[in-house]
Amino acid sequence: MKKFLGGMLFGLILGLGSVGYASDAIQAVLFPSTFNFNGETKAVSDSYDVLNYKNHVYVPIRFVAENLKSTVSYDEGDRTISILSPAGGPLLQDPGYPEVSIGNIQIHEKKKGKVVSGLVLLDDTKIKKAGPGLRLYGKIVFYDHADQVLGSSPVSITYGRTVNPLHMQHFEETLYGDFSSYAKAKLFIALLSDQNHPPIPEVYVDGKVPRIGIGSYCWLGCATGRIVYEALPATAARSGSELTVSFRGNNKPDSPIKVRRTNERQVAVDEVLMNGKVKLPTEKGTYYYKMTAFWSGKENTGGDAEYGFVIHVE
């Protein structure tokens, strides 16, 4: 409900005189203005209005929060507005999952050892699905000043009736490693879904996106499966075109992706994706691709997965 929340007003107390217009609820006047955030001037977009009401200026809360590097979420059900700001330390985000922010990270000593705690907030305007069963799983990796890994901590939240995905949530997890020289942290999201499957790669060829099938995998649990090529439509592409494969966010495979392509005569060729790219064959026909990706678990979430798709070379 970005439009609704964008119109909700956050009061900044300024002594300003103005002439207002009357309504049944309030007397206010539109107040065209620009804002300066830490030396950077920002104008309010046409989708927002700034009001002067009783000599106080009211501005859209999302406009202010986002320009202060904060995350906002609005729950229309109970009209709760949640704001996670960097006041308690930098907000962590995985660039592949901009809807997730983690902040207020604290390291504590307890009887069971060291633990990390923090707050998680999902941006209601960016999350695609926020219903019951949604599961967030990731890893916070801690580094020293030389960017060497000191250790990590999981972050796991299952949303449901008592855990609202549009409200701020607290987490506390055990730390693994020595954090005496901790300098910075990085967030790796492994899952934000109601289905427990590995990350789906983004595959492009000749300006098109083939449909991807999933085979066997070990990712927050293991499953044995078969890639059903018969259910995957063939994507037409020109011979010799470049095929690119990428994974969203920080949680990328840290070993070269292995590819096996098999033609209609059942002749197989094994390749390795270099920088996520490989050329299609020059011979026309239908090719069945099988990719295998590996994650070591040193920084990302450890696991492996098989994927398949079909390309028809013209």
User: What CATH number is attached to the domain comprising 261?
Assistant: 2.60.40
Closest Cα to residue 70, out of 42, 101, 41? 101
Asked if residue 232 has pLDDT above 80, the reply is yes
Give the residue from 193, 219, 234 where a domain finishes.
193
Residue appearing with tokens 């390795």? 272
Instruction: Assess if residue 76 is contained within a domain.
Output: no
HSE of 251, CA atoms in CB hemisphere, 13 A: 25
**pLDDT of res. 301:** 82
For residue 192, give every residue at least 6 positions away whose Cβ sits within 8 Å of its Cβ, in sequence order, or none: 97, 99, 100, 127, 134, 135, 136
**pLDDT of res. 25:** 61
The more confident residue out of 130 and 314 is 314
The number of folded domains in the chain is 3
pLDDT tens for 200-230 read 999 999 999 999 999 999 988 889 989 999 9
Joined together, the tokens standing for residue 302 give 């450890």
Instruction: Assess if residue 73 is contained within a domain.
Output: no
CA–CA gap between residue 135 and residue 301 (Å, rounded): 15
Give the residue from 160, 193, 226 where a domain finishes.
193
pLDDT tens for 7-27 read 444 444 333 334 444 445 666
* Residues 185 and 235 occupy one common structural domain: no
Give the residue from 16, 39, 68 where a domain finishes.
68
| Confidence class for position 250, pLDDT limits 50, 70, 90 | confident
Instruction: Assess if residue 96 is contained within a domain.
Output: yes
Asked if residue 52 has pLDDT above 60, the reply is yes
* Residues 140 and 113 occupy one common structural domain: yes
* Residues 135 and 89 occupy one common structural domain: yes
**pLDDT of res. 4:** 44
* Residues 38 and 99 occupy one common structural domain: no
* Residues 170 and 262 occupy one common structural domain: no
Mean pLDDT for the stretch of residues 145-156: 89
* Residues 145 and 240 occupy one common structural domain: no
Range of the domain at 36: 2-68
CA–CA gap between residue 77 and residue 98 (Å, rounded): 23
Instruction: Assess if residue 74 is contained within a domain.
Output: no
253 CB-contact burial (10 Å; exposed 0-12 / middle 13-18 / buried 19+) = buried
Joined together, the tokens standing for residue 205 give 């060829």
Mean pLDDT for the stretch of residues 233-248: 94
Instruction: Assess if residue 210 is contained within a domain.
Output: yes
**Mean of the per-residue pLDDT values of the chain:** 85
* Residues 189 and 269 occupy one common structural domain: no
* Residues 139 and 222 occupy one common structural domain: no
